[in-house]
Chains A and B, each alone.
Chain A
Amino acid sequence: MNPLLQLKNVRKDIGKKTIIHDLSLEVFPGEVFGFLGPNGAGKTTTIRMIVGLMGITSGEVLINGISIQKDFEKAIQHVGAIVENPEMYKFLTGYQNLLHYARMTKGVTKERINEVVKLVGLEKRIHDKVKTYSLGMRQRLGLAQALLHRPSLLILDEPTNGLDPAGIREIRDYLRKLAKEEGLGIIVSSHLLSEMEMMCDRFAIIQHGRLVGIESVQELSKQAQKVLLTVEPVEQALTVIKNIYPHMNITPAKQGIEVSIDYKEIPSLNAALVSENIKVYGIQVLTKSLEERFLEMTGGNEIA
């Protein structure tokens, strides 16, 4: 499969400072790809370079194999994006804003505008001025303008910023659906690992403008985990576990027992407990451990 987006040794200098260091990655059709990094890591800068808002100091960005620098109009045709906050013309209505962007690409009909409005759930307010919108509604309108021209690459900088939990879930499900069913490549950025986990197939960890690593969510969740066991009786379970795994890090918690264990080992631990007649009510993989791993990789909360 040909990649939708290719970054080849992309570098950005502003003044004497290097903001992005030789970043290379590929995004394929049908996947949701995350940019994960703390504040100031360079996520937005990278996105600006991909969509041609910022020049590239060295390296290359290819969209569908077309260079954004050499052939901007052709390369950008199939890209829909939100860069940072979705700022719209506040003195226009939501509909007029969409009309504005519709006129800038060939082949977006009135029907398509209405379709997208429905899709992001703004039917009731679309003819109101944008200045009367809440942040979440503006975010939805931002998504609408990015989808208008049926892009094959969708780039969303912190798309869930300002949305309520229902809205976050809605967008997450919708993005997954777009990727699965229509084969879009989608890039989302975030500083929240939990969000990456729920939305993405793969994500790049960026820190201080460098690529720290690319992780697959599926793989990651299989690595060493903290698991919360809800068992009864607790004392007996503790002895059983200590017997099988003498070196294991065990912490009794309020809700049960927390153990650090390899993903693959979970079934055998469960089997051991059950065979000792311990009642196992729940085995819960704690995402907190992923968060810890992320902090470990990025060196804590330090801002670039």
Chain B
Amino acid sequence: MPSILSLIQNENMKIYRRIGTWFMIGLLALSTLAGALIIKATYKEPKNWKAEVASEIKEMEAQLSEEKVPKMYKNHLEQQLKINEYRLEHNIKPVASNTFWGYLVDSADIIALITLFTIIVAAGSVASEFSWGTIKLLLIRPASRTKILLSKYIAALLFALCMLLLLFVFSAVIAAVVFGIENIREPYLAYQNGTVVEKNMLLYVMQVYALNCVDLVMMTTFAFMISAVFRNHSLAIGLATFALFVGPQITALLAMKFDWAKYLLFANTNLAQYIDGTPLVEGMTMPFSMMMLLVYFVIFNALTWFIFRKRDIAA
């Protein structure tokens, strides 16, 4: 019986021996470069950042003095206020997009592209075996279907990890070249237990990346499920990307009217809402969202496994 490692090795071979995969990697590098060049060309440095932070503080104070500010939002404002005051006191400039760290944080938006690529890879890894007819030779080996499915899922996630690493390296190199590394010692300001603390910027960037990966993992799992259930590559890609780009909007609309919207997947994928923002529906907490994500994750995977394990292969 083959080990799961050799099965993953096989899946990797099938991913990286295809032109399409290298096209995706090229596109990723290109987007990272283009992003940096666009910021370089269009970003306007504020003349006096201290004056700007000061005016921001005034605005926040005004908002706070109003009645009927939701409690969650109020907390958020107070935190930002404290951080801004700390900036003025200690002469720490806000992280601008045209700096090394600023660009690294911004580049996390490109993770949406990686999510799209991973959806394509994950959906293809099951559906293509059916459309190529290779599924027949794949499933008559002494490896259970569960093992084969698992190896495909792991290979897709490894691909995502690989792309994330590449994104990080690309953006770091490009940011260093385009924006320079003078500000590399700049700290990240966070609000913890009532005080403002200086934190390592690298850790913050990694946190931003990690938060952006929730969508990635959930949508990849979703696409994987669709492709195993319907054995159709385009359907899986279409549904997953549609959900990825339209899901959050629809959920936000529903959340304005209905309380139950908090049980929807996309109400919970944006974990950043608990760190520097306000929750979609009042009363939602980080543990709640984590729990909901886990429930969806288990349901998607269980369905995939259940259907793939028993199905007749008539392709």
Contact = CB atoms under 8 A, between A and B. Distances in A.
Q: Report whether chain A binds chain B.
A: yes
Given A76-B141, A91-B17, A53 B136 contact: yes
Majority secondary structure of chain A interface residues (helix, strand, loop or mixed): loop
Contacts of A245: none
B142 A74 contact: yes
B245 interface: no
A200 B314 CA distance: 27
B17 A104 contact: no
B144 interface: yes
A87 B133 contact: yes
A98 B37 CA distance: 46
B31 to A, nearest CB: 25
Contacts of A81: 140
A85 B136 CA distance: 10
Contacts of B314: 48, 53-54
Interface in B1-37: 1-2, 6-7, 9-10, 13-14, 17-19
A162 interface: no
Nearest to B144: A73
Interface residues of B, number: 27
Contacts of B141: 76, 101, 104-105
Interface in B196-237: none
A174 interface: no
A104 B10 contact: yes
A103 B137 contact: no
Contacts of B134: 87-89
Contacts of B142: 73-74, 76-77, 104-105
A88 B138 CA distance: 10
Majority secondary structure of chain B interface residues (helix, strand, loop or mixed): loop
B136 A100 contact: no
Contacts of B133: 84-85, 87
A103 B1 contact: no
B307 to A, nearest CB: 13
Contacts of A72: 144
A291 to B, nearest CB: 31
Given A91-B17, A96-B13, A104 B136 contact: no
A100 B6 CA distance: 9
A158 to B, nearest CB: 14
A51 B143 contact: no
A48 B313 contact: yes
A167 interface: no
A91 B18 contact: yes
Nearest to A129: B17
B23 to A, nearest CB: 13
Most chain B CB within a 10 A radius of its CB, from A14, A103, A106, A145 = A103
Interface residues of A, number: 34
Contact of B1 (A53, A73, A96): A73
B13 to A, nearest CB: 7
Contacts of B137: 82-83, 86-88, 101, 145
Contacts of B14: 89, 92, 100
Interface in A42-71: 48, 51-55
Contact of A54 (B1, B132, B144, B313): B313
A48 B220 CA distance: 31
B310 A55 contact: yes
A55 to B, nearest CB: 6
Contacts of A53: 136, 139-140, 312-314
B6 A104 contact: yes
A36 interface: no
B132 A87 contact: yes
Contact of B136 (A14, A83, A90, A105): A83
Contacts of B18: 91
B136 A103 contact: no
Contacts of B136: 53, 83-84, 87
26 contacts: A48-B312, A53-B136, A53-B139, A53-B312, A53-B314, A54-B312, A54-B314, A55-B310, A72-B144, A73-B1, A73-B144, A74-B142, A83-B140, A84-B136, A87-B134, A92-B13, A99-B13, A100-B13, A103-B2, A103-B6, A104-B2, A104-B6, A104-B142, A105-B141, A106-B1, A106-B2
6 closest A-B pairs by beta carbon, nearest first, are A87-B133, A104-B141, A53-B313, A103-B6, A54-B312, A73-B142
